[in-house]
Structure 1
């Protein structure tokens, strides 16, 4: 009996061709994998930063509303009512370690330190698995406003810093981060030592005779150039 010859369509790949094909696929995968990993990590970092910005702005809005309502008992920890305590950059250190942080917002009392903070779960896997930590603090109030409202904290600078969980448990926070934020890249180490975002803003009760002056005076404390408040 004659053996049937295979036509071209029935011929398979040789071992060498198979190895070459595997090598080509491996090279392609090795080239695109780092880009995919970096892209994925960048999306996670951007998502956390966006959430941090929303948290900071939300806390500022909450405190501003409390002041407008005349509720001065649920405000962030203060530097104290000492003259000229407005330099939030140099006077407020990084948060202190806390293995069991309270949930936000932080219910501050007269004894609450500006280094205390609260935690937020942003992905819904439980408060015990919190993701971001929020440090809030306020300055003293300008003396001109005190003369009008009997010492109530109705005008002050407010600061907000939002850290990642990894940073708060790393033990490597920069003692006085000032206005630095973790924007130097994924592998720079900044995300373990600096906040994701830092905001400073004036909070002023809007219905006072001195509201405009107080806002201008406080805003000058955080701006490079100063406006004329007269």
Structure 2
């Protein structure tokens, strides 16, 4: 009896050890499924990223364009406000007769060779300059709006012949056009004269900005606090 008992226990113990070893060994089929799952997951992530990336770039590009157009409009309005302010204050000169030593920013915009009626037909800019003291009706002022050392815009500001009173222009039309500036811009590509501002579309490219200004403002400026203001304004309206 005792001998039989001792012969059976080692066999059971050996089988149990073998079963435990088999359970502890990794299965080839399990490793294959895990690798396949990783490949599927990587593929899904790649597809998702490739689907969302273009819309993100498009949204960012459109937002940048909208911001640029807003800044251009602010520049154009600021130039109009500057001219109106100096005319109201009365201490201003024509750009061409601005006294030596006086900043041209205290003077009216350069005079274009066009009538009051046709002032919107003024030619596009054909060159640019970095100083407001060295421009004319077809020379745009290059502007760095964020002070990073790189120009962002070109602003063309000009006025019509207008009405003279005591040697001073007291009523005139003026136009301001603000273009996006880029290093490879070609003045020959600009529409002459521009009929409208560039239309901003969902895009990351410059598009119509290569041909049209981002902002256009046309307006009339009249000095109204002189004895002959009414008659000057009447003559000005007749010339429209």
Q: TM-score, normalised by structure 2?
A: 0.72
- Give the number of aligned pairs: 200
Q: Which has the larger radius of gyration?
A: 2
**Counterpart pick for 1:27 among 39, 47, 69:** 47
- Higher helix share goes to which structure? 2
Shift of 1:102: 1.3
Q: 2:89 matched to 1:69?
A: yes
Correspondence for 1:95: 125
Residue number in structure 1 paired with 2:175: 159
Q: 1 or 2, which has the higher strand percentage? A: 2
Aligned to 1:194: 212
Secondary structure of 1:166 counterpart: coil
Runs of 4 or more, structure 1, over 4 Å off, are 4-7, 209-213, 215-221
CA change 1:22–1:113 in 2 (3 A) is same
Q: Matches of residues 13-92 of structure 1 in structure 2 within 5 Å?
A: 14-70=34-90, 71-72=92-93, 73=98, 74-80=107-113, 84-90=115-121, 92=122
**CA deviation map 1:86-130 (0-9, x unaligned):** 31222x1111134xx214xx236xxx531111111122212xx11
Deviations 1:49-104 (A, max 9, x none): 11111111111111111212221231111124x7x4431222x1111134xx214x
Of stretches 133-142 and 71-80 in structure 1, the one that deviates more from structure 2 is 71-80
Structure-2 residue corresponding to 1:135:
156
> Secondary structure of the equivalent of 1:37?
helix
Q: Which runs of 5+ in 1 are unaligned?
A: 222-230
Give the direction of change, closer, same or farther, for the CA distance of 1:220–1:37 in structure 2 (3 Å limit): farther
Q: CA RMSD in A?
A: 3.0
**Structure 2 stretches lacking a partner, 5+ long:** 1-16, 99-106
